[in-house]
Structure 1
């Protein structure tokens, strides 16, 4: 064999005798296909079939050597056959070297008629080399190219090979007619819109029409064979309208009405473009089964929906399908674009979640609508990897590359994907190689940048016409059948088009409406500021405290752990709680009331600042969650340390909360400023999802914030950025300064009659500040207070100066006031930043009748923090000028020098009390 191709060898000749000797000692000690091979060889020897064999110089006879050359050929087809497939309907096949020519394996055409035992390795038995090659080409080099040989599990590799080596699927005439019907719908729907709404964007599916029958058959196959009843789908805009209409059965007239640009009847929502909207549907399959299907709303951040889909799926598994440990009742499906799949990092983050305890969803089926182009960017400019799906190798997920024009191969790939997913509960990728008939949108001119490609596309016959000719040739249909089918569908579209003209308003479709029927959308101030009863009896708080702050006596713990828990018990005896105790008690009281909780994020089990210890470990590393041992209506808390990911994990937990309004879902950033890694989720979903898509969500974000001299990356969670996103009471933004207020805030989140995302700027140094304490009575009888007046003012008549502030700076101002024995200044805290309770502020200001000055003090630079927001909101309700005390504006949140930081803080405090 040519030395430069020696890397193709599946096994070296020097290993042959070792394997053969092992086989002779115990045939079951080696892989079954090798055992069958050696069995065939021994049988041949016994029948004197090889009596004229000549020994080679290595002591291995020539026929065995040839057998192993053939086995190397088989291995090469399995590993590299996908390079030599007929999977690309448009572009010329790329050249890959070395080829699979016989010469590269030490074989020649002389051996084509020779029979080889190696045929047993592919399940065809002893047969000629010609038959072996034809069989290998049929499996590995047809319209499907399989990548799987990088998988480390031999059993899984063998299962994949056996699946494709079994007899090829034969579809019935009725099934083939159904595939043709769906292809016709895909093509005709696009043509109809193209002529009726000239120049309007629709991001057509043309070039990948087989996506529609693929999804149809996935639902049919999974629901019949595995009794799957739930499908959660995420996809971007390419082909979305076609999928909505012809797969989800959204009313055509409604879609046409949206094209006509009508306003939404519900003026409280801004809505979104038609190809971003979500949809929910209960559909009946062809076999009469009912399945639930959800298409998750998605913005133009194409792959951002991936994490949301996984979160919704996991929530359903936990809540609905908790008795089905294999998750066969539900399948998440992600439909990608090739450029986005290879270009956007969220894909990698989501894949890394796929097998983790707190985030697994039983395997995702990925379908790539591969246009072989981005907006105007060719794949050669859009990625460094060979395939857009090469990211799948990170988790050793198999990939099937399929010619999207070959609908029957597409369906075969779908069956494989479902079977693989159900057997291994892992991800699987289907790469549908097609093309994009028009430009990025239908008004774009692709010939500006890809003249050669679009010259080829303009001459290419679409998949519907290709399959129609095939079925006519097979005499499954005739031309009259085709005309009737096409005419019937066109009539339907025309009827719905005329109905659309009678629709006065567009309707924002409900998404997951059934799960949210008990939670109205709240937008007015009466709803937002309505007091919520978060009280809880002292007796039960103490009982819960004893359970969650007492370590099991028979277990061995690290001494510092024992010290922390002992200190907590001592504080309870004094009827005091610090921040972390109040947090755990907020969870404990909710669990006691039967409410479930999910807490996720980087290092949340212990807490970044070693403050939480919600999960404690024994010296033997046994994990104990004392919060799950409270009773009596014991809710369950799940606590998961996440990967070092913000975008993916925040999206996942947002998706989880999207399906579970009855569960308190919290995500914590390791440091608050890290959340900017998940800014897309905040901008596109958390802040605007209700307004765009009419979806509700009660996720809680815990963002450690506060200037402690730790530099620009560990100071600011960028409060100002969130304030820019606030409007129409879409979010709660809170910066608490007492454990009791934080306790009531968390309880309020689940006691509200509606749900809004809650963003909490949590403390760092205050976790251990001796003044940042609350009494158990505060927890028991108090309520959440949006604004905190100064509790230390002894004589209100002496107050000449009002200082408004928010967060940890309050305690530094308090210490400064005490140190200079100032009795003329009142410190007022803004605890809930948004929505801001202006009436309460006006009431407090009015109370101090002798005030001469009103200040806003913050530790963030002048161009950051709350200043711009507070100035806008408060300046109109006070008679005096609002004066700012803050560091000078800066492009960086904080200095990196600790001594410089102290100087800045001291200057703030000094100015505040001049």
Structure 2
């Protein structure tokens, strides 16, 4: 009797084969040559299939059946000795090999479907994209013929079956991997995660069984999504709304994420999305009143009349809401976003991180949910930046659910012109995120993958992607004509039945609902919209939401100069307590000798109260806020040590590399100090910190550029969020940006932080821009970010050479009781009588010390130097007070930067008004600085030194008529500058 494969190859024999294969891998001569030929003839995926035949690598059986009494090295085994009673003893090796080959080929086929089944899945609702055939998914590619389709094959409970015919296997894998859902997960390297997904989708053939109530709910959400867009199209024909038509399944998908997430402990979701579909999400997910939106379509503001600000278009706005699902409450917040699409991503992540820490650090209770367009997801560099940060200590948020609303077009550009990869989601493979491609016209499949994605995120705390294949019924906006550029696609779309209609027909065919019930659902919603539309005529927003939650009790500051009384001083007792902590390392801690010298120097500064340098002043600011139980968060490239080796807020043991943070060890019950060496990413890290500051007003949140010009890489965050967010969206932030700046002969890069850019953005008290000259003033500037009852972003041009400059020092008294921030610092030296002073030189930042030293060296006593520490809000009255002391002096602005950069363009009109009001000699301010230049600075040190010396001496001694102004361009000096 010939043994059949199903009787020959069973659980015992798979162990036998696995052990045989293991011995072969260690030493091919240890097995019979017939097995050597068999094993060596298998392809790589066949060998992997053989390994999987006896179970996954993390769950191999502990027992063995191959006789191991003889060394495989010294005595090769012709054939394994069978154990008594083993099934394989009944069959010869040829039969086993044949059965094994069947199993291996079947498992190779199954694995190919797991890896590449998505390539023939039907997830394009338009039927334009996709293939019907792939050779690696064809049984013939593995040696099977039509005659083999009904022969039982042992597959050891893969797919849940011990044996199955090839026909059954192909049917099952196609059902699971090739219908309306395509799954990419085999790139995941963590066995547990890969196994979880495999079990989750194969145990159900990748579909959910919905109840009548569940199916009806899906139809209701689709009706709301489609009905809302059709209603807007009728009432406001041709008006831009960036509608969701073609992607309506997004709404039930989001509802499922919220519902399932709430069941799994989710308390809050922070959303970020582009403008497409935002109005639909605002109303149908966030439950913004329809009447409020209709009022905005009539041109009314989304805020009460007494709230100032520029506002923004409807499809950029955010909101917040509370939703309940099966008795579980979930708070939702949709973050405002400009048209810069993916720019909101890091802002959302920063907000989520802050909210998680407010809940004790729980990642599972607060989740980011990001929506993307397909072209933006694959094309915008900020997307891989976000993935790169997703599992880093200072930025992880426990995973993000990404939904790509895949319209299969970017504005007018087809996918094959906009990316080099198969899918827009391919970028997510950099973090081994599972990816679910799903047909948007199968809403049950969409809801199914939304549920799996939520469960995966909650289980593993990692990113997951839903690639929602849909289409865009209209052009880029409702007035755009897509036939100009994409005629084939839009001919198909023109005849495409809507998702709601398709699903309604399906439910009627399944006898879940009658046609009348479907119509009633639609009519009821339309009637509700008509009622809300009428109510929109009289709708008035009754409040703005910017002082709710964590922001309760804060004020909106306009006219910052009025807020001069904030107390930022600290008692000497607390200063010394902090000083002791920052100058002390633990016992037996192997501190680097150079760092040890710095610690001793700090100790001496605190002990004597003299010579406190910039880094120590900063540490005193941080520590005093921590003592007051505020959080201090600082991130940026190498900011733990400090770019210039000045900070050392993280001390590394030279033997063990253990890390010690002195500021975290001041006293019991203090605030948390978090300092993070960020990845080499500017835009996303700055966006993250901005988002963090939006959600946590009681922390000092800072981003430090390694050099000030590194902020160039984050300019969109600065322009679109930090400088304008309050005006556009009523969102306050106390974020502090530290930008090292100063001309020290280091060349075009790393000299200028481009202060002119920040000054150009100044208006309506939107933020503060400073270039400070003393450690004490820096201390007070940082502390006032937290100590006052309003929040404004702060941009500081921080020093480089001044970090260790002998003149850039403060005393302990400058920090303690009675001290305060100084927007302007007047003359400090003893000069001639005020009426004998011939010139007042105004400046900001490092150049002050060059002016001071040169004046002292030359014994000049009739030129006063006034430091403008805060450039914006412009301290007009204080500057007037200083200039008015010198009744016979002219006024000169001195800067290191070229005339077309730096502060001059901002300062000149303001100084001009002051000079005219005070009838200053000459009437107009003069300028001393480098001539206009395309490059920020020279790369030649000798040229730098000569330029610096010239501009300083010019400011201290040149005649006013020789100094260039916009009204004296014909002079020789003016020509040399401009």
TM-score of Structure 1 vs Structure 2, range by shorter chain = over 0.9
1:136 alignment counterpart: 173
The answer on 1:518 being equivalent to 2:553 is yes
The answer on 1:354 being equivalent to 2:390 is yes
Work out the CA distance in 2 between the residues paired with 1:757 and 1:21: 57
3-state SS of paired residue (1:760) = strand
2:194 alignment counterpart: 157
1:284 alignment counterpart: 324
2:245 alignment counterpart: 206
The answer on 1:590 being equivalent to 2:590 is no
Structure 1 residue 582, shift from structure 2 partner: 0.2
TM-score where L is the length of structure 2: 0.88
3-state SS of paired residue (1:293) = strand
1:533 alignment counterpart: 567
Work out the CA distance in 2 between the residues paired with 1:22 and 1:758: 55
Work out the CA distance in 1 between the residues paired with 2:847 and 2:953: 13
Match of 2:254 among 191, 205, 215: 215
Work out the CA distance in 2 between the residues paired with 1:601 and 1:498: 52
3-state SS of paired residue (1:703) = strand
1:275 alignment counterpart: 315
Q: For 1:616-635, what aligned pairs fall within 5 Å after superposition?
A: 616-619=651-654, 620-631=656-667, 633-635=669-671
Structure 1 residue 521, shift from structure 2 partner: 1.1
1:904 alignment counterpart: 947
3-state SS of paired residue (2:936) = coil
Match of 2:227 among 161, 165, 188: 188
Structure 1 residue 29, shift from structure 2 partner: 8.3
Consecutive unaligned residues in structure 1, runs of 5 or more: 1-5, 31-41
2:61 alignment counterpart: 27
Deviation string for 1:119-150 (max 9, x for gaps)? 62222221111111111001111111011111
3-state SS of paired residue (2:749) = helix
Deviation string for 1:815-848 (max 9, x for gaps)? 1111111111111111001001101111111111
1:89 alignment counterpart: 125
1 or 2 for the larger relative contact order (CA 8 Å, sep ≥6)?
1
Match of 2:641 among 588, 603, 606: 606
Work out the CA distance in 1 between the residues paired with 2:138 and 2:356: 49
Q: For 1:377-416, what aligned pairs fall within 5 Å after superposition?
A: 377-416=413-452
3-state SS of paired residue (1:657) = helix
Structure 1 residue 553, shift from structure 2 partner: 2.7
Work out the CA distance in 1 between the residues paired with 2:532 and 2:53: 69
Equivalent residues of 2:122, 2:130 under 8 A apart: no
Q: For 1:226-375, what aligned pairs fall within 5 Å after superposition?
A: 226-263=264-301, 265-266=305-306, 268-285=308-325, 287-322=326-361, 324=362, 327-375=363-411
1:544 alignment counterpart: 578
The answer on 1:824 being equivalent to 2:862 is yes
Work out the CA distance in 2 between the residues paired with 1:319 and 1:740: 31
Structure 1 residue 169, shift from structure 2 partner: 2.2
Structure 1 residue 239, shift from structure 2 partner: 0.6
Consecutive unaligned residues in structure 2, runs of 5 or more: 1-39, 65-81, 958-978
1:172 alignment counterpart: 211
Work out the CA distance in 1 between the residues paired with 2:63 and 2:220: 52
Cα separation, partners in 2 of 1:843 and 1:16, compared to 1, 3 Å: closer
Q: For 1:460-471, what aligned pairs fall within 5 Å after superposition?
A: 460-471=496-507
Work out the CA distance in 1 between the residues paired with 2:164 and 2:542: 64
Cα separation, partners in 2 of 1:692 and 1:69, compared to 1, 3 Å: same
Q: Larger C-alpha radius of gyration, 1 or 2?
A: 2
Equivalent residues of 2:120, 2:134 under 8 A apart: no
Structure 1 residue 525, shift from structure 2 partner: 4.2
3-state SS of paired residue (2:907) = helix
3-state SS of paired residue (1:774) = coil
Equivalent residues of 1:737, 1:831 under 8 A apart: yes
Equivalent residues of 2:768, 2:873 under 8 A apart: yes
2:976 alignment counterpart: none
2:488 alignment counterpart: 452
Work out the CA distance in 2 between the residues paired with 1:379 and 1:685: 30
1:494 alignment counterpart: 530
Deviation string for 1:373-431 (max 9, x for gaps)? 01111111111111100111111111000001111111110111111111110000000
Equivalent residues of 1:201, 1:442 under 8 A apart: yes
Structure 1 residue 751, shift from structure 2 partner: 0.9
The answer on 1:894 being equivalent to 2:937 is yes
- Of the structure 1 ranges 364-373 and 540-549, higher mean CA displacement relative to structure 2 is found in 540-549
1:792 alignment counterpart: 829
Report runs of 4+ in structure 1 exceeding 4 Å deviation: 6-10, 12-23, 45-53, 505-509
Equivalent residues of 2:121, 2:130 under 8 A apart: no
Equivalent residues of 1:534, 1:783 under 8 A apart: yes
1:782 alignment counterpart: 819
3-state SS of paired residue (2:643) = coil
Equivalent residues of 1:8, 1:72 under 8 A apart: no
Work out the CA distance in 1 between the residues paired with 2:661 and 2:750: 29
2:5 alignment counterpart: none
Work out the CA distance in 1 between the residues paired with 2:93 and 2:582: 78
The answer on 1:116 being equivalent to 2:150 is no
Work out the CA distance in 2 between the residues paired with 1:511 and 1:239: 24
1:63 alignment counterpart: 99
Cα separation, partners in 2 of 1:376 and 1:132, compared to 1, 3 Å: same
- Of the structure 1 ranges 115-124 and 708-717, higher mean CA displacement relative to structure 2 is found in 115-124
The answer on 1:555 being equivalent to 2:562 is no
Equivalent residues of 1:512, 1:659 under 8 A apart: no
Q: For 1:791-810, what aligned pairs fall within 5 Å after superposition?
A: 791-797=828-834, 798-810=836-848
Q: How many residues align?
A: 885
Deviation string for 1:847-871 (max 9, x for gaps)? 11231x2111111000000001110
Could you say what the CA RMSD is over the residues aligned between the two structures, in angstroms? Answer: 2.3
2:18 alignment counterpart: none
Match of 1:145 among 182, 194, 197: 182
Deviation string for 1:698-756 (max 9, x for gaps)? 00101101111111110111100011111010001111000010011111111111000
Q: For 1:92-103, what aligned pairs fall within 5 Å after superposition?
A: 92-95=128-131, 97-103=134-140
Cα separation, partners in 2 of 1:437 and 1:18, compared to 1, 3 Å: closer
Work out the CA distance in 2 between the residues paired with 1:675 and 1:13: 51
Cα separation, partners in 2 of 1:194 and 1:146, compared to 1, 3 Å: same
1:106 alignment counterpart: 143
Work out the CA distance in 1 between the residues paired with 2:506 and 2:156: 32
Structure 1 residue 250, shift from structure 2 partner: 0.4
